[in-house]
Chains A and B, each alone.
Chain A
């Protein structure tokens, strides 16, 4: 597999490289930052049908690339991310660049500041190519419910999948990216950017990561700053990292982590924990397989990949055993109650007064609020707000909200017990199956789909733990399957090391192997 990559490099397909590789190419003068940026922008235009981007920041990107170029020429090098094109989910505030959350409410919103994680990337010299598409306000697991339309999975147009559909020319059976950070997943795997930021509240980065065939990291809660991330659920949100390799994810994590005074929920990572290593010895590893994760609806192929990885690890000397996380069955409902309550609270600020969509209705302030919010939010958002208000009513608070908090604690303790009983990481599926076709996916409503799809991913959010999805194989439909590792808090480095070990041995192909030359 590494041989494949180098061959492509000599063929000049810079865009399929990892950050590590392309960064080296920049420093070696094999390509210039401006050329690289132009290639990405060109490819964005070429892959417009994917609808991965809400805003393409062409002018800004070229300007940043120029600056990177002059730095390079002067030998003043910011770091490994200098000159690297990146994309950001459209719920991260970017100064003077439209930030919409794929909602009518914020469709013309220009934030006056950059989110901390965006600023950190810019400070490293990375080049922002655009803001990626998503489900409205990050509510959804398909990236199908934003006001700018659904995102299409790049693998829909790659040979393996197209061959399945009998080589039909029509477009109707394209598959979804998953969500809610679908645009970020598509951006990285359609080769228009080398890394993308997503957000992960119940699996919103890992889900599209798995369905699009990317490495998707959900860091430990509190490791990355949420300042500037327009929140869904403050107590669960984390910025997510989407890359093409585990080493890339480790590089980006290193840049982004750290205490931010502007975010009181951040902490400095304890230095005692091991960092990322490309030479992890799995003989020292104990892998837990949670029995409750044999969920209904789990596809045969995903189950097969799960077994495959477990065997791979065991064969190399790791201890693999079954564990129990007994409260798993309650996690979806628990997540739903807490999510809706926080949504109701977080969305209260959208009244059209200081910013955002304001209705022309002006008979009274209350009427203006109601109209603005009704016009600005889609049905999914409105539904969750109403549910959340219900759960927060004085007479319901104890029975729903408080109860859910208590159940949340039990779920977190399930993980603690497993880890303190000698398990180092947990191995689970990321999604139930490979990507569904859009036409199939939309047959059920958003709430139903989220309930089904989030089952493997949201417990890690409830517990604040790090989790990573690694692509392992293409399904029989020619679409990516990803598997998930969950680790103890602040062991993100170790988690990525294990993910790296797996990545080296599964031979997941790059999409550039199947490039359709002319679209």
Chain B
């Protein structure tokens, strides 16, 4: 997870000319055409069972093995609302500063498609469970990309709805294969207002949303696995003038692709208008064709402010959702986490931004801090620049980092004590394969060459640790002495 975040390291700063130009356009000149980007995000709710039925939610299960009678639309079956899904939507809404509608409704949205067994999707068209929220997100900008730029995007609404099944088209045999495992899984649809102007902003907003959802545990947020699906609505206009025709960019499965696809579309529209052509909306959604109808089998969804507002007969009943308790139980959100890191470790905002942005990096950093007496402020660069940079270069996540926090701590201790130079330390941190074999080896070799006997002993200790005590000490000592002579 988390491989899609905007890169910080040099090696991955492969911004094309196009992206650079567009990035500049974000801080644009008034008479130029600029992009206007809104997002429609579908987040799969992390729950044991589906939104309206008791079948399990799982991934990579054999086809059609997680399908209840209701999911298969067998006649006579009825929806039963999953409380956990409601709580997930409400918690997400609270984290995004939304107004919770104490009463919201379910509707049927009709269209015929093979992966929609009932011929309609149960969604919230008339009144969603939450409206009018806000997501604060940041970008690293400036020429060195180390200045925090804070922005906000308005959340129009969050609604609960069913996911559809999956269809696979087998053109060779002229058939379509349907897997209903995903049919009926709970989704939160989040609509972000068109407050963004380029791909970078959209990607950053999505990234922040991912972090929020993951912190809440309401959605795992993995775009490549389809847990978070983003559709972008893109148009261009001159600031101050009315909005242009929107087109949709759909089926995006990574934040990086999202950013590029949006920028590409903005550029395409700008060029088209420049040639005097009109922007056409070709992917019209099904809205105008399909009918909506209230879902008659589900009563209105009622959420209570506090225990005091719950009617006497319902107190203690299973299906009751109370905001007060959920609000109190919200975990630490990313923004709070970043502020805490700045306070606790004396870091700069851009550092804590990076730490929180990369999955596992904060934990890594904190583990290194624990094992060394070096000041956190002096460690941070190693973690966010050197280590992270090389991880990106090798396309590795933090969880796959071959240098453990204690090894890095060790390394930096040595560097601090002057036993190795910064260059060597950086080399180690560069994770090149030969070094990975024995982390401290090249570090200590130099020290050894400088005649430091203490280092030989320490090196012995490290080798034994690396080999889990299985190496023959006599053999190791002779090897080391040979290598370092």
* Residues of chain A whose beta carbon lies under 8 Å from any beta carbon of chain B: 92-93, 101, 106, 109, 111-113, 115, 226-231, 233-235, 261-265, 341-342, 344-345, 347-351, 353-355, 362, 365-366, 369, 389, 392-394, 397, 401
Contacts and interface: CB of A to CB of B under 8 A. Distances in A.
| 10 shortest interchain CB distances as A-B pairs | A348-B119, A392-B291, A234-B296, A235-B296, A349-B73, A230-B75, A228-B76, A349-B118, A93-B76, A230-B76
B291 A369 contact: no
23 contacts: A111-B75, A113-B74, A227-B76, A230-B75, A230-B76, A235-B296, A265-B299, A341-B293, A342-B293, A344-B110, A344-B291, A345-B108, A345-B120, A347-B119, A348-B110, A348-B112, A348-B120, A354-B72, A354-B117, A392-B292, A393-B291, A394-B291, A394-B292
A446 B72 CA distance: 32
A441 B123 CA distance: 43
Given A353-B178, A394-B291, A265 B74 contact: no
A263 B78 contact: yes
A113 B72 CA distance: 13
Nearest to B64: A354
Contacts of B172: none
A270 to B, nearest CB: 10
A349 B110 contact: no
A227 B77 contact: yes
A226 B78 contact: yes
B103 to A, nearest CB: 15
A356 to B, nearest CB: 8
A397 B117 contact: no
A393 B286 CA distance: 12
Given A111-B74, A264-B81, A345-B120, 16 more contacts: A101-B75, A109-B75, A113-B69, A113-B74, A233-B296, A234-B297, A262-B80, A341-B291, A342-B293, A344-B291, A345-B110, A349-B117, A353-B117, A366-B112, A392-B291, A394-B287
Contacts of B110: 344-345, 348, 392
B434 interface: no
Nearest to A392: B291
A374 to B, nearest CB: 14
Contact of B288 (A344, A362, A394): A394
A93 B114 contact: no
Contacts of B75: 93, 101, 106, 109, 111, 230-231, 349-350, 355
A226 B296 CA distance: 12
B457 interface: no
Contacts of B287: 394
B391 to A, nearest CB: 46
Contacts of B449: none
Nearest to B180: A354
Given A342-B293, A351-B112, A262 B117 contact: no
A392 B108 CA distance: 11
B224 interface: no
B274 to A, nearest CB: 36
Given A234-B296, A342-B296, A345-B293, A355 B108 contact: no
B176 interface: yes
Given A349-B117, A389-B291, A264 B79 contact: yes
Interface string B77-93: 11111000000000000
Interface in B47-95: 69, 72-81
Q: Majority SS of interface residues in chain B?
A: loop
Interface of B: 69, 72-81, 108, 110, 112, 114, 117-120, 174, 176, 178, 287-288, 291-293, 296-299
Contacts of B298: 264
Contacts of A265: 78, 296-297, 299
Contact of A353 (B114, B120, B288, B297): B114
A92 B112 CA distance: 26
A113 B76 CA distance: 10
A228 B110 CA distance: 22
A400 to B, nearest CB: 11
Contacts of A351: 112, 119
Contact of B297 (A115, A264, A354, A365): A264
A347 B72 CA distance: 14
A453 B140 CA distance: 73
Contacts of B174: 362
A46 B220 CA distance: 65
Contacts of A345: 108, 110, 119-120, 291, 293
A509 B370 CA distance: 94
- Which of A262, A342, A369, A397 is the most central at the interface, judged by chain B CB atoms within 10 Å of its CB? A262
Contacts of A231: 75-76
A93 B178 CA distance: 25
Contacts of B69: 112-113
Contacts of B80: 261-262, 264
Nearest to B72: A354
Contacts of A397: 291-292
A235 B297 CA distance: 7
B332 to A, nearest CB: 35
- Which of A93, A234, A354 is the most central at the interface, judged by chain B CB atoms within 10 Å of its CB? A354
Nearest to A236: B296
Contacts of B78: 226-227, 262-265
A395 to B, nearest CB: 9
Contacts of A392: 110, 291-293
Contacts of B296: 233-235, 265, 342
Contacts of B299: 264-265
Nearest to B318: A261
Contacts of B73: 349, 354
A401 B174 CA distance: 40
Given A264-B79, A394-B288, A365 B74 contact: no
B284 to A, nearest CB: 13
B288 A229 contact: no
Given A348-B119, A349-B119, A354 B74 contact: yes
